[in-house]
Amino acid sequence: MAADHTRTAIITAAERLYAERGFADVTMRDIVAAADVNLAAVNYHFGSKDELIAELFVTRSLATNRERLRELKAAEEAGDGRADINAIFAALVGPTLRGCLGPEKQRSDAARFMIRASIESVPPIRKIKNREVDHLKRFAAAMRRSLPDQDPADIFWALHFALAMAHQTIRDSERLTRMSDGLCDLNDVQAITDRVVAVAVMALTGKPAKAPLKEPAKAKARA
Amino acid sequence: MAADHTRTAIITAAERLYAERGFADVTMRDIVAAADVNLAAVNYHFGSKDELIAELFVTRSLATNRERLRELKAAEEAGDGRADINAIFAALVGPTLRGCLGPEKQRSDAARFMIRASIESVPPIRKIKNREVDHLKRFAAAMRRSLPDQDPADIFWALHFALAMAHQTIRDSERLTRMSDGLCDLNDVQAITDRVVAVAVMALTGKPAKAPLKEPAKAKARA
DNA sequence: GTCTATACCGTGATAGAC
DNA sequence: GTCTATCACGGTATAGAC
């Protein structure tokens, strides 16, 4: 256990510093000073600064994805293989929102790190996010089982929009607060999740007041 | 005109290089080599690398915002002060989407630069985006005139979601294409705009199939 | 006022001793 | 595994030429 003490100290210090000050302002020398280890230790244990950031992000990201899939599985079992569409969207955006929003004072380093990762989108984190497609396809598949008559393209668009709303809310929560003069409550995570889910479900199944989402027959050339 | 030749050469070269290779990979030395000027010229004309990026972004951003306000004004005049809500959302997201999406081959350096700015979000660009609140408030005000009985918080949320959908579509168009195996058409900008607008309007005024957006009476303690 | 050459310092990375 | 010393490179600052 003393063997990976250095490694652990680096991870802990790096996550805290990145959470506090963002990626742009924190140097490796800041990190090793806070962790009380030697400068070269970071490269020895992680290879590079980018790989350290990647490892931090992957660890937190995997935890969120596990929770997402756990909720998705529960929703599918509750519906005998055809989950309620609300539950699918809730499984998609709920874990992320709960992990990043909520009362500011009680946010962990991990939560604040993930918020930074959303806002600052540094190269190593973008690389990892680009590999999330397979994970998201599982949700698309669940939606198709839930609503087999829905146009597949609409399903992907709704999934895309749900993620857009959730992530933008994390990224720009401060702007939304300022724009609305505090009218939009960013502390009630459950209400935010419900709102995102409701809009996503409407985007997929609802009928707008005036213009229809699209012509019903479109890309159906084959079969 | 020969006077600001250097300044113009820097701007042109920088925008092209950033568009082609992103912010992380392009150094000042790359830029001055492409512009065929001296290294110190950038600091002389712009102060710093960040201020150069900021100027590039502000220029393009102002053009988009002008077009947004032009469309908003046209919509309000068409409705005698109360614009159609669809037109307001279209004025908000249309110019941005048209500026960044569309057939890949015919995208200008300016368009690709703005896509990079959305994806990579470097500090100077974040700083500028944080000052956009006043601009957005104009759209919120137009929406309140358009739908005076709507809960103001819902208006801000819908505005926020509309921007979220538009920006995420620009940012992650490649992921959406891969996730949907090409099923979602990212070339038809008008269809995308219509879709975003339709969902935003539903988010604001529509009624979902099952759960209501929120309890009607909520944050009304005063007055 | 505009431009150039050049030097400076902080950064991430690495080689090699221990 | 850990450390020291050093490297190459990036953005920046300045002295001075035109």
Task: Give first-to-last CA distance, chain B, whole Å.
Answer: 60
CB contact under 8 A, B180 and A153: yes
Q: Which residues of A touch B214 (CB under 8 A)?
A: 191, 194-195
How many Å lie between the alpha carbon of A149 and the closest alpha carbon of chain B?
A: 16
For residue A2, the model assigns a pLDDT of: 54
Q: Give the number of other Cβ atoms within 10 Å of residue B167's Cβ.
A: 22
Q: Among 1.10.357.10, 1.10.287.3610, 3.30.70.2860, 3.40.50.150, name the CATH number for the domain at A53-205.
A: 1.10.357.10
Nucleotides of D under 7 A from a protein CB: 1-5, 9-15
* Amino acid residing at B221: A
- Kindly list the domain boundaries of chain B, sorted by start residue: 1-47, 50-205
* pLDDT given for residue B79 in this prediction: 96
Q: By CB neighbour count within 10 A (0-12 exposed, 13-18 middle, 19+ buried), where does A106 fall?
A: exposed
Which of residues 12 to 41 on A have a Cβ less than 7 angstroms from any strand D atom? 37-41
Q: How does the average pLDDT of chain B come out, rounded?
A: 92
**Does residue B35 carry a pLDDT above 60?**
yes
B210: pLDDT strictly greater than 60: no
Measure Cα distances from B132 to A67, A166, B154 in Å.
35, 20, 20
Is residue B214 predicted with pLDDT exceeding 50?
no
The nucleotide closest to A39 (CA, C1' atoms): D3
% of residues, chain A, pLDDT over 90: 89
Is residue A7 within 8 Å of A97, Cβ to Cβ? no
- CA(B3)–C1'(C1) in Å? 10
Pick A164's closest partner by Cβ from B121, B168, B184.
B168
Q: Can you give the pLDDT at residue B105?
A: 86
Q: Return d(Cα B140, Cα A61) in angstroms, integer.
A: 34
CB–CB contact A184 B157 (8 Å) = yes
> B1-47, which class in CATH?
mainly alpha
Among A119, A159, A202, whose Cβ lies nearest the Cβ of B206? A202
| Gap between the Cα atoms of B134 and A179, Å rounded | 8
B50-205 to CATH, choices 3.90.1170.40, 1.10.4030.10, 1.10.357.10, 3.30.460.20:
1.10.357.10
> What values do phi and psi take at B21, rounded to 5?
-120, -5
Residue A51's φ and ψ, nearest 5 degrees, are -70, -30
Residue B118, both tokens: 């959305």
Residue B12 has pLDDT above 90, yes or no: yes
Confidence grade of residue B207 (pLDDT, cut at 50, 70, 90):
low
Which nt is closest to the CA of A29, judged by C1'? C11
Distances (CA, A) of B146 to A79, A199, B26: 41, 21, 46
Whether residue A167 and residue B167 make contact (CB cut-off 8 A), yes or no, is no
Nearest to B211 among A86, A133, A219 (CB): A86
Q: Do B199 and A194 touch (CB under 8 A)?
A: no
- Estimate in Å the CA B121 to C1' D16 gap, whole number: 38
Q: What is the tens place of the pLDDT at every residue in B84-138? A: 999 999 999 999 999 999 998 889 999 999 999 999 999 999 999 999 999 999 9
Query: Residues in chain A with pLDDT < 70?
Result: 1-3, 207-223
- The separation, in Å, between residue B208 CA and nucleotide D12 C1' comes to 56
> What band does B2 get if pLDDT is binned at 50, 70 and 90?
low
Contact between residue B215 and residue B161 where contact means Cβ atoms under 8 Å apart:
no
Instruction: Show the tokens assigned to B207.
Output: 């009624």
Whether residue B180 and residue A211 make contact (CB cut-off 8 A), yes or no, is: no
Mean pLDDT over B145-171 rounds to 98
Angle between helices A49-78 and A133-146 (to 10 degrees): 10
